[in-house]
Structures are given as structure tokens and as C-alpha cells.
């Protein structure tokens, strides 16, 4: 549901996953919004208690068991480590879960902010399920956590975009907040010394995996050189092998899951929970704040404002977008 990626949901949905057309007489394809965000651990308030009978965020009702278990573990680990640094969720029930009139598009949003002593600015989790006019469905699951201006450490992004049981797009990265050419120490600290490059190389060795290149020139610089931006296609198998959800689940369980958990551990140790932190001067805070604000504002305008109304109708879209803008302060 959001693209901020970059974070926020910076979710870039590949053009091949953009089946939605404009209701106007001359159809135009649009990119379904991506969802970015986070959920609560078992000790946190349930994000959906006020909506009896509606899917709760952590239930991920449209994912396979293997995929669902991975998301629950990732989110529970993050919230368990951050603990009291996070304030309880405050979104109203009709933003925590929403759908269009026909029920063909459904979404869930979960947001928690950091307390005044935390390095966390905002933690966002979401899932989006859209039935496609051509058949099948598009499922987007996002977890993104922004840090505040007390540190210049990278943000965390994990997003899955699945258009069929055999096709999946993965975006996994620690999003840099400084120019890596000007600040080689930053590159060394968060990307070279942590050996993040090995994960991308490991995934690209799989025969079902191909690199994914963002179509937007604006969004490419937002990601790090070690970003895991890959497309997984399990439809082409060797003769005698079966294609389908089992194959995708195996890749998620055996390869993506372990790597996602390792990357999260690095981010928690080196960025969000780093003892002593990194001192950020007043002038540098101004630059960090401007950069973070532009990313969030662009994500809302490009992804949400242009797509949510087509998927959910103007009333639902307005309600959800307004809530996100309030937390993003854009």
C-alpha cells in the first residue's frame, strides 16, 4: 500500500505486474501500490482487535504458510529487539483493514512510531491483495522501518511482490541515507564490513533467480549497491520437475528466509540498536531530514495518490492516504 521505500514503499511494481486499467474510456495501465511496513509481536496490542471477523495484519491471509511464517518471524524479531522503543499502534480500525465495495481488493496497514529516546522514527507494515481482471491475484507484503535524525544509519526494507504462485519479486535492502561516494566510511561500515554483498551473490546463483532492474531512474539511487533486487520465476523447470507453489516455498524457506533474517540481524545490531550510536551534527541532520522527507513525499504522491483510489475507491483511499501522510508528516 505504499511505496515508500522505501520505503518506504518505495515499492516499485514492475510493469509486468501492472494490470490495472483506468476507468476512463481510453484504458491506461497503472502500477499497483506497494505496501511497506511492520507488525506487532505477540506481546504488543493486536492491530486488528477492533475489527472482529476481519483479517489481522499478522495473519497474512493470502500468503502461503511458508511465506506467512517468515513474515511473522521477521516482524516478531524486529519488534522483540526494539521492544519499549516503540509506541503502541494508534491507527483506527478502518485503516488497519480496508477493502473496496466488491471485496476484490483488500489491504492491511500497521504503523508504530518510536519513543523520544529511540533511534526509530517509524515502523510500517502492510499487505495488499488484489484480484486481477485477467485472473489470479497480486499480493504485496511490505515491512519498512525508518530511523530518525539522531542517527545517519540506513533504513530497513523488505518487500515481496507476488503475481502468481510461480513469480515473485524481492526487494531487500538497507537503504543508505548518505552519498556513498562522498562518505566511504559509511560504505565500509554498513555495506563492506558487514559483507552484505555475499547475500546478493548467493541468491543470484539460483537458476530461478534473475536480477531485477528498477525502471525508475529516480528510485535506483535510493537503494544500496548491495541491494537484493531479484525476480524469481519457478515456471521453467527441468524436465520431470513440477512447477508451482512448492518450488517457490522451497526457495523462500531455504534461501530467502535465512538471508532476510541475517540482513535484519545486521540492521538491528549495526543500525537500530547500535550501542553509542553515530553522532549527527545539526547541519547534517538538516540534510538527512530533507532527504527522508522527499522520499516519503514522493512515495505518497507517485504510488498512493495515483493508485489507491482506483483499487479501493475515493473514500477508502482518502482515509488511508491521510493517515499515512500524518505519520510521514508530508
Q: Given this model, what pLDDT does residue 242 score?
A: 54
Domain boundaries, the chain: 34-41+57-83+98-282
Q: What is the Cα–Cα distance from 249 to 162, expressed in whole angstroms?
A: 12
286 CB burial (10 A radius; 0-12, 13-18, 19+):
exposed
* pLDDT 10s digits, 59-82: 999 999 999 999 999 999 999 999
% of the chain surpassing 90 pLDDT: 63
Residue 277 or 143, more confident: 143
- Of 32-46, 206-220, 264-278, the one with minimum mean pLDDT is 32-46
User: Is pLDDT at 57 greater than 60 in this prediction?
Assistant: yes
Phi, psi of 286 (to 5 degrees): -65, -40
Q: Given this model, what pLDDT does residue 302 score?
A: 77
277: left (phi over 0), alpha (psi -120 to 50) or beta: left
Cβ contact 114:86 at 8 Å: yes
User: Is pLDDT at 92 greater than 90 in this prediction?
Assistant: yes
What is the CB-side half-sphere exposure of residue 311 using CA atoms within 13 A? 32
17-34 mean pLDDT: 34
Please, what is the average pLDDT of the chain?
82
Residue 221 grid coordinates: 539511487
Residue 137 or 31, more confident: 137
Secondary structure (3-state) at 205: coil
Q: What is the Cα–Cα distance from 136 to 142, expressed in whole angstroms?
A: 20
* pTM for this model (two decimals): 0.84
Q: What is the Cα–Cα distance from 242 to 55, expressed in whole angstroms?
A: 32
From 1, 15, 8, 2, select the one nearest 219 (Cα to Cα): 8
Residue 310 CB coordination number (10 Å):
18
Residue 34 or 248, more confident: 248
Domain 34-41+57-83+98-282, second-level architecture = 3-Layer(aba) Sandwich (3.40)
Residue 173 CB coordination number (10 Å):
28
Q: Given this model, what pLDDT does residue 19 score?
A: 27
Q: What is the Cα–Cα distance from 43 to 37, expressed in whole angstroms?
A: 18
Residue 128 grid coordinates: 495488499
In whole angstroms, what separates CA 57 from the centre of its chain? 14
Q: What is the Cα–Cα distance from 88 to 70, expressed in whole angstroms?
A: 23
Amino acid at each position: 500500500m505504499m511505496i515508500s521505500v522505501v520505503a518506504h514503499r518505495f515499492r516499485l511494481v514492475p510493469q509486468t505486474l501492472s494490470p490495472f486499467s483506468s476507468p476512463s474510456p481510453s484504458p491506461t495501465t497503472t502500477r499497483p501500490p506497494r505496501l511497506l511496513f511492520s507488525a506487532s509481536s505477540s506481546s504488543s496490542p493486536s492491530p486488528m482487535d477492533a475489527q472482529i471477523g476481519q483479517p489481522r495484519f499478522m495473519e497474512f491471509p493470502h500468503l502461503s504458510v511458508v511465506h506467512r511464517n517468515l513474515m511473522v518471524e521477521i516482524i516478531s524479531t524486529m519488534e522483540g529487539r526494539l521492544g519499549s522503543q516503540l509506541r503502541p499502534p494508534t491507527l483506527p480500525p478502518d485503516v488497519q483493514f480496508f477493502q473496496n465495495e466488491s471485496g476484490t481488493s483488500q489491504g492491511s496497514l500497521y504503523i508504530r512510531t518510536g519513543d523520544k529516546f529511540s533511534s526509530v522514527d517509524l515502523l510500517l507494515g502492510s499487505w495488499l491483495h488484489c484480484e486481477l481482471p485477467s485472473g489470479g491475484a497480486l499480493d504485496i507484503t511490505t515491512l519498512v522501518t525508518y530511523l530518525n535524525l539522531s542517527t545517519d544509519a540506513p533504513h530497513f526494507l523488505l518487500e515481496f511482490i507476488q503475481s502468481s504462485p510461480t513469480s515473485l519479486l524481492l526487494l531487500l535492502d538497507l537503504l543508505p541515507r548518505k552519498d556513498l561516494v562522498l562518505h566511504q566510511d559509511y560504505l565500509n561500515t554498513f555495506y563492506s564490513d558487514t559483507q552484505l554483498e555475499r547475500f546478493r551473490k548467493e541468491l543470484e546463483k539460483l537458476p530461478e533467480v534473475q536480477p531485477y532492474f528498477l525502471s525508475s531512474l529516480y528510485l535506483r539511487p535510493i537503494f544500496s549497491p548491495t541491494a537484493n533486487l531479484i525476480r524469481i520465476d519457478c515456471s521453467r523447470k527441468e524436465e520431470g520437475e513440477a512447477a508451482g507453489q512448492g518450488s517457490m516455498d522451497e526457495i523462500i524457506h531455504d534461501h530467502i528466509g535465512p538471508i532476510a533474517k541475517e540482513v535484519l540481524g545486521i540492521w538491528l545490531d549495526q543500525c537500530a540498536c547500535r550501542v553509542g550510536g553515530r553522532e549527527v551534527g545539526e547541519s547534517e541532520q538538516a540534510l538527512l531530514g530533507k532527504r527522508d522527507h522527499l522520499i516519503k513525499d514522493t512515495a505518497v504522491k507517485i504510488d498512493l495518490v495515483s493508485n489507491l483510489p482506483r483499487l479501493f475507491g475515493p473514500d477508502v483511499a482518502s482515509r488511508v492516504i491521510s493517515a499515512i501522510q500524518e505519520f510521514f508528516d508530508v
